[in-house]
Amino acid sequence: MNSKLKIALAQIAPVWLNKKETLEKIKKNIKEAAKEEVELIVFGESLLPGYPFWVELTNGAKFNSDVQKEIHAHYAQNAVIIEQGDLDEICKLAKEHHIAIYLGIIERPTDRGGHSLYASLVYINEEGEIQSVHRKLQPTYEERLTWSPGDGNGLQTHALKSFTVGGLNCWENWMPLPRTALYAQGENLHIAVWPGNDFNTKDITRFIARESRSYVISVSSLMRVEDFPENTPHLDKILAKAPAVLGNGGSCIAGPDGEWEIEPVLYKEGLIIHTIDYNRVLQERQNFDPVGHYSRPDVTQLTVNRERQTTVKFN
């Protein structure tokens, strides 16, 4: 049975920009997954405490805007500071229920001064230990107005039963070299997290699976007008141009042959549970292995800098 892994895709909406209440919602879903004997649960990109939808809706590029500064400050106040224990309760649940977790957060790390924000993907193993924090390498388009670019430190894979699991944030999944960095470490279960839309997941999920001959788990959040809390700064300005649905989900699973195991699920909030089999990976690697028998490292090689970047080094 070590070749089988039971997975839950947590397609939920945050309590937007509210760290405390979103944490409670995450904990509730972990407990529900544990009741189903799930061994890995995955949450969407930036779920804790939410995606910066306001930027596109409120002229986020306007320089020195009081509106942008006030919403950004609210975002920063609700960002996750791992060093101060913000994820301790999540780690405790992981250990208690022997469940591994991938969680998308907005991180405000003290090792970069404690003020800038990063879209980070955190892996917590079944012993409740944070094994990697991958800061998104390149925020996409308007995200660059509120998120900072990360580094290669989190380009790591992890053993989980027979599987080797790794993950990327949103459009990073379109970047061939970070994908290759994970493949080369033996990744055969790829986690792709998204803020929430089948526009993103419906093509890339199957593409990565077929390219890597791995399972690909895409997990998206939901976001609807009713998910904006009433105490959000400048909520009237945000809602003035907001569509009824900002994130429709689209969480899905592709098998190592690139075919659907679970097609994109739309508009439905809750856990999507599925069991995968490692033997399928070995079957599909028979005719193609991108970093093994179907590679030419004597011709092309990738160099990866996994050093955690910092502005100052003290001797």
CA proximity to 212, closest of 281, 165, 265, 279: 281
pLDDT for 141-193, tens place per residue?
A: 999 999 999 999 999 999 999 999 999 999 999 999 999 999 999 999 999 99
Residues in the chain: 315
- pLDDT, residue 197, reads 93
* Mean pLDDT, residues 61-77: 96
- What distance in Å separates the CA atoms of residue 250 and residue 10, rounded to the nearest whole number? 11
Whether residue 2 has pLDDT greater than 90 = no
Q: Which residues contact 273 (CB under 8 A, 6 or more apart)?
A: 6, 7, 8, 9, 33, 36, 38
- pLDDT, residue 231, reads 92
Q: At what angle do helices 19-35 and 88-97 cross, to 10 degrees?
A: 0
Place of tokens 């969480």: 251
Q: In percent, how much of the chain has pLDDT > 90?
A: 98
Contacts 24+ apart (CB under 8 A), 296-303: 302/177, 302/180, 302/181, 302/184
What domains can be seen in the chain, in order of their start residue? 4-284 (3.60.110.10)
- pLDDT, residue 134, reads 98
Whether residue 75 has pLDDT greater than 90 = yes
Whether residue 313 has pLDDT greater than 90 = no
pLDDT for 43-65, tens place per residue?
A: 999 999 999 999 999 999 999 99
> 193: left (phi > 0), else alpha (psi -120 to 50), else beta?
beta
pLDDT for 250-298, tens place per residue?
A: 999 999 999 999 999 999 999 999 999 999 999 999 999 999 999 999 9
Whether residue 209 has pLDDT greater than 90 = yes
- What distance in Å separates the CA atoms of residue 214 and residue 37, rounded to the nearest whole number? 23
> 151: left (phi > 0), else alpha (psi -120 to 50), else beta?
beta
pLDDT for 289-307, tens place per residue?
A: 999 999 999 999 999 999 9
Whether residue 1 has pLDDT greater than 70 = no
Average pLDDT, the chain: 97
Q: What is the DSSP string of the chain?
A: -TTEEEEEEEE----TT-HHHHHHHHHHHHHHHHHTT-SEEEE-TTTBT---THHHHTTTT-TT-HHHHHHHHHHHHTSB-GGGTTTHHHHHHHHHHT-EEEEEEEE--GGGTS-S-EEEEEEE-TTS-EEEEEE-SS--GGGGGT-----GGG---EEETTEEEEEEEGGGGG-HHHHHHHHTTT--EEEEEESS-HHHHHHHHHHHHHHHTSEEEEEE-EEEGGGS-TTSTTHHHHHHS--SEEEEEEEEEE-TTS-EEEEEEES--EEEEEEEEHHHHHHHTTT--TTTTT--TTT-------PPP-S----
- pLDDT, residue 59, reads 94
Kindly report the pTM of this predicted structure.
Answer: 0.97
- pLDDT, residue 169, reads 98
Whether residue 203 has pLDDT greater than 90 = yes
CA proximity to 125, closest of 161, 77, 171, 80: 161
